[in-house]
Amino acid sequence: MAQGVIDGTRLPTAHAAVRLHVVGRLLLAVAATTLLALYAWVTIRAGADATDFATFYDSGRHVLQGLSPYPQLASLPQTADPKTFAPFVYPPPIAFAFVPLAALSFGLANALFFALNVAAVVLALRLLGVRDWACYAAAFASPVVLAAPANGTISAFLLLGVALAWRYRDHSGKVAASVASVVVAKIFLWPLWLWLVFTRRYRAAALSAIAGVVATLLAWATIGLSGLRDYPQLLSRLTGLTGVNSYSGYALERSLGAPSWAAQIVLFAVALVAGYWVTRRPSDARVFVAAVGIALLVTPIMWQHYLVLLFAPIAIVRPRMSALWLVPLLFWIDAASWSSGEALRIAPVLALSAALVVTCLRSAR
């Protein structure tokens, strides 16, 4: 009888736990759907010049017209305004990638680009082996995922490229193309190329380097090498104008009074230490996760939408719903686009990002 009583008391408790689990997943889905619809409505209604997509759209139009997409160095302001400062600073292949959208009206192109961003996140998680719909809900309820399409950025496509690199890591041509694409789009993802080298994918590393250089030079040659000579200076000016207003380790150091050169040296040293720690117990997944984490750590400019890349390590180590998928919801503590160089805003975002990376590294096999 005692055993029956115990079993009888456990049954309702088990049912309650199941109901709570189901309700929690449904609430997460409702929140994600509502937020995504709200962000889509606001972004599409905002029109021209409201997001970074306007910059990409204009770069595609310039290429169509045979013009340079790059600004003159002398035209850059002394202080960056978060509402108006949006020069095109990407390598020229990105401008060419936006030519098809630039052929459309801005309103149609803007709406289509938002939809493509959403599709890129879904496809990326799918490629990483995620099948649990609650994981997708958790992703789209987080501000770092929503910020990618809402700000009109290419961060969701970077996540897709990273996912392709992992999915096709044993196919030299495919992984080389994926790594080359994301590094050309955003140079701060160069640690992914080192992942190829560390894991002895030498053929893929060579193909990736060649493909990236050739694609970039061909695109630049098509626009008459316009902007090539000033490009390093343009990136330097961009770091000086916006890096301190981002959520990067560089921005945190600068906010605490460190000079620019010292801040970058410290970040590089930290990256070396992190890389050494990972290589003490190397595995394919650990090195890959470390490459993504180090890329986010050492970049002097890190906007919140860059953190959508964290969902690649999360998906690799936890392809089914777990508490780890809910951690990015904490980024709602500060979902603003710019940190304005305030250490108390930058530090929590960096700490949470680092905690996610370390957790994924400990779980990677």
What pLDDT, in 10s, does the model give residues 59-116?
999 999 988 999 888 888 877 777 777 789 999 999 999 999 999 999 999 999 999 9
Percent of the chain with pLDDT over 90: 73
Residue 45 has a pLDDT of: 86
Contacts of 198 (CB under 8 A, 6+ apart): 279, 282, 287
Q: Cα–Cα distance between 275 and 280 in angstroms, integer?
A: 9
Instruction: Identify residue 25 by its one-letter amino acid code.
Output: R
Q: Render pLDDT for 189-243 as a digit per residue (tens, 0 to 9).
A: 999 999 999 999 999 999 999 999 999 999 999 999 988 889 999 998 888 888 8
Global pTM reads 0.92
Residue 336 has a pLDDT of: 86
Under DSSP, the state recorded for 81 is -
Which uninterrupted H or E stretch holds 180? helix 172-185
Q: Cα–Cα distance between 353 and 297 in angstroms, integer?
A: 9
Residue 13 has a pLDDT of: 65
Q: Which long-range contacts (CB under 8 A, 24 or more apart) does 206-213 make?
A: 206/176, 207/172, 207/173, 207/176, 207/177, 207/180, 208/175, 208/176, 208/177, 208/179, 208/180, 208/183, 209/180, 211/176, 211/177, 211/180, 212/180, 212/183, 212/184
Give residue 191's Cα distance to chain centre.
Answer: 14
